[in-house]
Structure formats: structure tokens, C-alpha cells
Amino acid sequence: MGCLRLSFIVIILAVGAGWYFRSTEDVRVKEILNTVLKLTPKPIVDLFQPAEDDSHDAKKQEKVTDNEVKSTSRIFSKQDLWDNYRGGDGSKGVYLAFFGKVFDVSKGKEHYGPGGGYHFFAGRDGTKGFVTGDFSDEGLTDDIDGMDSKLMIGFDDWIQFYSSTYTYVGTVIGQFYDENGKPTEALKNANKLIAEAKQAKKQQDEENKILPMCNSESSAAKGSRVWCSTKSGGVERSWVGVPRQYHPPGANSPRCACVRTNGKPSYGADDGKNRGDLGNPYLREYDNCHSTSDSCVIKQPK
Ligand code: HEM
């Protein structure tokens, strides 16, 4: 019974607090609430999963697994999108599509509306242009077939950006979604390539921490020089390292890497030699540079 009474008091307090927060004109309280809400991250379930839909004119979207949008999604034809959603006189709003997903970008009208610097994205799916920077009609296409897979990583930031900034309203029939709003093979393939590109970038970032790039300078007077410091390659660290040519399998050409010279190796088992990563088989010393020097002239001045 005591427990019931306590629950009752808690409910009264919660309702009271809710009423206060809703009705208060106290700007600071609202600011705090907004901050808390902003700090709560929106879950991005899948690379291509639309953000939770709270749009005014779209039917409620239902999230389903495996990159599908249920048939309750609003489905646009390319023509409808182009004719009615470019923000001009009599248009129904400013929408754009990215990877076949249509977003209401009306709140970014200054960019996407008539006269805006990015108006060319409005009313169509110009996915490819987002990473190629080709904003011609041919470049603004949803056909990304045969694109260099290294460029795919560039899409990732835009996916995050549109999902978190603008309201998702549906799909456009094209390369990525069919007339029933079902994802196509092209979308699934793109999804896979982007995931792979992200993974490759992650590995590259990790490798760059272990073998950071060298600083370099080149001039006719001084020749070319590479050197290491505790910040070279943008990697802040406690050690300086020594410059080596690093040519891992699959790389087209060697690059200069700063190599840690003591402690255990980063890769593989501890060889007990206390020589850091110097035992990495893909490293080579620069000619005419002392093996312990943190700076090497790789081309003499003229
Ligand atoms: C592939 C190349 C590029 C693409 C696809 C691109 C795309 C975009 C898009 C879509 C927006 C609007 C974002 C929004 O909805 O808020 C934007 C904004 C902006 N972009 Fe770019 N952009 C590119 C390159 C550049 C470059 C090279 C610069 C600068 C030299 C630049 C400067 C800006 C600035 C300053 C804004 C914000 C404008 C403002 O807030 O008024 N962009 N960009």
C-alpha cells in the first residue's frame, strides 16, 4: 500500500514537471532541454536506413532490416520530383534525392532553392555529383555503376548528413529503388562497397597511426628533405621516429613513414629486440642517410 502511495506521488510529480517544461516560457529551461535532446544521438541503423520520419506530409515510415523501406513509403517518379519539388513558383517544396531517398530540404532553401548555390541538386537524384563534383546534367545522375571504389568513401559523410539534417519523405524510382519502393541490386551493391571503403579507411587510419607520414619540404636551394617529429602526418605522439621508405604490398609507390625505434613491434609477436617497428619487412632505409637520423635529404640541392 505504501508502495502504491509512493507511486502515486511520483506520477503526480512527473506530470507536474512535464506540464511545467511544456508550458514554461523560461528560455534557459528550454535551452537545457534542447541541448539534452541534441546530445541524444539519432541511431543510424544502417548506412542507407532513413532517419526516423517525422515529416508533415509523408506517411509514417517503418524501419525494417536489410535496407528495405516498407511499401507504406511515399514513392516519387523522377518526373514528379523534377516538376514539383525544385522550389520555384507553384512548387510543392524543395526536395532532393540521394541514393534514391527523397529528403525535404526546404529548410535549406538558401542552398537548394532557385538562386541557391546548390539549386542543381533540387528535384532530382544527383548522387554521383556529390563525390565527383561534376554538377552538369550528365554528372548529376543516380547511375554510379563502374565508379572508382575509392571514391565511395566520400558518400558516407553525405549519408550521415542528410539522414541527420533533413526529413526523409520517401523514395524515387530509379537506380536505387524500384516502383514498389524496394531497394535494387544497385543499392545493395553500393551499400556493400561503401561499407568496404569505410573498413579500408579505418585500417588505413590505424596504419597511419603506427607508421605516420613524414614531414617534407622541397626547394631548388635546399633539395628535398623528409623528417620526423612528434606531430608528423597529423599524428600526435610521444615518439619522433626515423624516416623510412614504406612500400607495403598493393601500394603503387613507396611513401615516407616515421618508424618507432624502440619497444615492442606493433604488428606480430614480440621479437625481444626492443627496436619498435624497424623490423617491418616493407621498410627500406634512404640512401645516404644515417639509420638513426630523424631527417634525411632525399634529393640534393641543384
Ligand atoms: C564535391 C564538391 C562539393 C559538393 C558536392 C558540395 C555540396 C554542398 C551542399 C549540398 C551544401 C549544402 C549543405 C546543406 O544542406 O546545408 C554545401 C554547402 C556549402 N559548401 Fe559545398 N560542396 C562541394 C564543394 C565545396 C567547396 C570546394 C567549397 C569551398 C571552397 C564549398 C563550400 C561550401 C560552403 C561554404 C557551404 C555552406 C554555405 C552556407 O552555409 O551558406 N563546397 N555544399
**pLDDT tens, N- to C-terminus, the chain (302 residues):** 333 343 444 344 443 433 443 333 333 333 333 333 333 333 333 455 533 333 333 333 434 333 444 444 799 999 999 999 999 999 999 999 999 999 999 999 999 999 999 999 999 999 999 999 999 999 999 999 999 888 999 999 999 999 999 999 999 999 999 999 999 999 999 999 999 999 999 999 999 999 999 999 999 888 999 999 999 999 999 999 999 999 999 899 999 999 999 999 999 899 999 999 999 999 999 999 999 999 999 998 87
Of all atoms in ligand 1, which is nearest to the CA of residue 165? Answer: 15
Q: Annotate 23-41 with DSSP letters as a single string.
A: H---HHHHHHHHHHHHHSP
**From the CA of 226, how far away is ligand 1's center (Å)?**
34
Q: Is the CB of 109 under 6 A from ligand 1?
A: no
Of all atoms in ligand 1, which is nearest to the CA of residue 131? Answer: 1
Q: Quick one: cell of 284?
A: 627500406
Of all atoms in ligand 1, which is nearest to the CA of residue 121? Answer: 10
Angle between helices 153-165 and 185-210 (to 10 degrees): 110
pLDDT score recorded for residue 49: 52
Q: Residue 271: which region, alpha, beta or left (left: phi > 0; alpha: psi -120 to 50)?
A: alpha
Other CB atoms closer than 10 Å to residue 59's CB: what's the count? 13
Q: Ligand 1: which residue has its CA nearest to atom 40?
A: 111
Domain coordinates of the chain in residue numbers?
Answer: 43-202, 211-299
Q: Is the CB of 115 under 6 A from ligand 1?
A: no
Pocket of ligand 1, candidates 103, 111, 140: which has the most ligand atoms within 8 Å of its Cβ, to mutate?
111
**From the CA of 202, how far away is ligand 1's center (Å)?**
25
pLDDT score recorded for residue 221: 85
Q: What are phi and psi of 136, to 5 degrees?
A: -75, 170
CATH fold, domain 43-202, is Flavocytochrome B2; Chain A, domain 1 (3.10.120)
pTM of the model: 0.70
Of all atoms in ligand 1, which is nearest to the CA of residue 166? Answer: 15
For residues 176 and 100, the answer to whether their CB atoms sit within 8 Å is: yes
**From the CA of 117, how far away is ligand 1's center (Å)?**
8
Of all atoms in ligand 1, which is nearest to the CA of residue 111? Answer: 12
**From the CA of 106, how far away is ligand 1's center (Å)?**
16
pLDDT score recorded for residue 41: 31
Cell 642517410 -> residue? 289
pLDDT score recorded for residue 35: 34
Q: Is the CB of 118 under 6 A from ligand 1?
A: yes
Q: Is the CB of 133 under 6 A from ligand 1?
A: yes
**From the CA of 109, how far away is ligand 1's center (Å)?**
13
Q: Is the CB of 111 under 6 A from ligand 1?
A: yes
Other CB atoms closer than 10 Å to residue 149's CB: what's the count? 12
CA–chain centroid gap for 183, Å, is 21
pLDDT score recorded for residue 73: 72
